[in-house]
Amino acid sequence: MILLEDGNRILQETVAAQINLSDDEKDKREPFNVRLCDFDDVSYLVEVTKDDLSQMKVSINMPCYHQIEAKGGADAVKTHFGDYAGSAADGFDVTLCVKFAEIKDKEQLIEKISQMKLLILGGAFEYFFRCFKQWLPH
């Protein structure tokens, strides 16, 4: 049996490396661009641009997103990522804009970002469970 983690470890480590920079290293932050792919054609882009070193953008492209967007996907993004959700980058479905100075709970944010796919897909399940619950006799 293969046991997989909830989140994407490479995504988690990439995001954590940027969020957990020491005070000395923050002044030396450099632009970077990392593209990752999961085994199920889900892809990620993590970037800090030279135009704005104060924030990191994390984007996800899910082949099924357009099918679940109106059925819980978009609600899940709002619920789990709220203020971080921004306009989706070209070729991606969801983009988070993380301003380093405004992060409150670093570990929780890193964990949530590593689980982006799981949380967004979970929104579709929540949507259909709510619909199903309405049809159950009280």
pTM exceeding the 0.95 threshold for the entire prediction: no
All domains in the chain, ordered by first residue: 9-133 (3.30.1460.20)
With residue 94 as reference, give the H or E element that holds it.
strand 94-99
Q: Round to whole Å and give the CA distance between 118 and 109.
A: 14
Which whole number is the average pLDDT over 1-7? 77
Q: In this predicted model, what pLDDT tens digit does every residue of 11-60 receive, in sequence order? A: 999 999 999 987 777 778 899 999 999 889 999 999 999 999 999 999 99
Q: Label each residue of 28-83 as H, E or C.
A: CCCCEEEEEECCCCCEEEEEEECCEEEEEEEEEECCCHHHHHHHCHHHHHHHHHHH
Spell out a b/e string for 79-107, using b for 16 or more CB atoms within 10 Å of the CB, else e.
ebbeebeeebbeebbbbbbbebeeeeeee
Q: In this predicted model, what pLDDT tens digit does every residue of 101-130 receive, in sequence order? A: 999 999 999 999 999 999 999 999 999 999
